[in-house]
Amino acid sequence: MEPLVAELKQKIEDTLCPFGFEVYPFQVAWYNALLPPAFHLPLPGPTLAFLVLSTPAMFDRALKPFLQSRHLQPLTDPVDQCVAYHLGRVRESFPELQIEVIADYEVHPNRRPKILAQTAAHVAGAAYYYQRQDVESDPWGTQHIAGVCIHPRFGGWFAIRGVVLLRGIEVPNLPPTKPLDCVPARADRITLLERFNFHWRDWTYRDAVTPQERYSEEQKVYFSTPPAQRLALLGLPQPSEEPSSPSQELHFTTLLPKKPQNPRRGWLSPTASPPTSPGP
């Protein structure tokens, strides 16, 4: 890895890893090359970017302390606020650079996601993105089958939280890292995609590989609980409905962290039941 990339990666890791996140560098060109222009990131191809994902440890190391210590804003998901806070810390740690952050939940006014998190995770080498095109002669006919990323160490027990873009830092010689194909057999890919699409609430798709760590029972209960009851579940008071004083850390420089009530509804799959929560 180029010394500059290694140095920047180390600094971002020092900021995020103690809180249960992982980061993987990639070039914007690798991401754009797989997508139609509507999804392109409008930056020069060699621009350095980092994919950020959360591991099972994020719940205890980042979310719980955040819920206890920050002024939560009402009507915005606490996990999203927590992730925004930590990605904001990355920006603050590089005041000399033009850092832009796109979180997984950000959408354009037409509700198209600003970042295709799974494609980014795949090109960054973080987690293999299994799609129906990865199954020869698939058995699903005209059904819509969503793809799923599997992490070599956490299986499906992780979430993709966003990308950090370093405008002006160009790394044309960064060598691409292939994600590990940890579900190579056709039958296992079929099982994985069927579990993810039709049985995701039972958590089984996440065990496509034996994970090093899963979500704790407490974390599973938290994410399975309707958002309005979650703080009570952790024994914490509800945030006041009065707008709290804006927390500087929650403001992204160039991109709005504001989230519509349900950004996923209406995008691609209007008939699908929306998840109980933003992707745990």
Question: Cβ-closest residue to ligand B12?
Answer: 279
How far CA 28 is from CA of 67, 97, 112, 178, 218, in Å, comes to 33, 17, 19, 15, 37
Q: Which stretch binds ligand B12 (CB under 6 A): 5-13, 30-38, 64-72, 209-217?
A: 30-38
Pattern 218-257, ligand B12, x by CB under 6 A: ----------------------------------------
> CB 202 → ligand B12: shortest distance, Å?
11
Indicate whether 159 belongs to the interface with ligand B12 (CB under 6 A): yes
Indicate whether 274 belongs to the interface with ligand B12 (CB under 6 A): yes
Indicate whether 182 belongs to the interface with ligand B12 (CB under 6 A): no
Pattern 77-96, ligand B12, x by CB under 6 A: --------------------
Single residue of 122, 189, 195, 259 touching ligand B12 by CB under 6 A: 122
Q: Tokens 């002024």, residue?
A: 71
Angle between helices 78-93 and 3-16 (to 10 degrees): 140
Q: Tokens 């579900």, residue?
A: 183
Single residue of 43, 149, 174, 183 touching ligand B12 by CB under 6 A: 149
Pair 226, 274: CB distance under 8 Å:
no
Closer CB to ligand B12, residue 8 or residue 278?
Answer: 278
Report the distance separating Cα 255 and Cα 106, nearest Å: 9
Number of residues in contact with ligand B12, rule: CB under 6 A? 33
Indicate whether 115 belongs to the interface with ligand B12 (CB under 6 A): yes
Pair 120, 188: CB distance under 8 Å:
no
Work out the burial of residue 280: count CB atoms within 10 Å of its CB; fewer than 13 is exposed, 13-18 middle, 19 or more buried.
buried
Indicate whether 131 belongs to the interface with ligand B12 (CB under 6 A): yes
Report the distance separating Cα 104 and Cα 126, nearest Å: 15
> CB 194 → ligand B12: shortest distance, Å?
11
Single residue of 24, 59, 66, 129 touching ligand B12 by CB under 6 A: 129
Query: What residues make contact with ligand B12 under the rule CB under 6 A?
Result: 34-36, 39, 104, 113, 115-119, 122, 129, 131, 146-149, 156, 159-160, 196-197, 200, 264, 267-269, 272, 274-275, 279-280
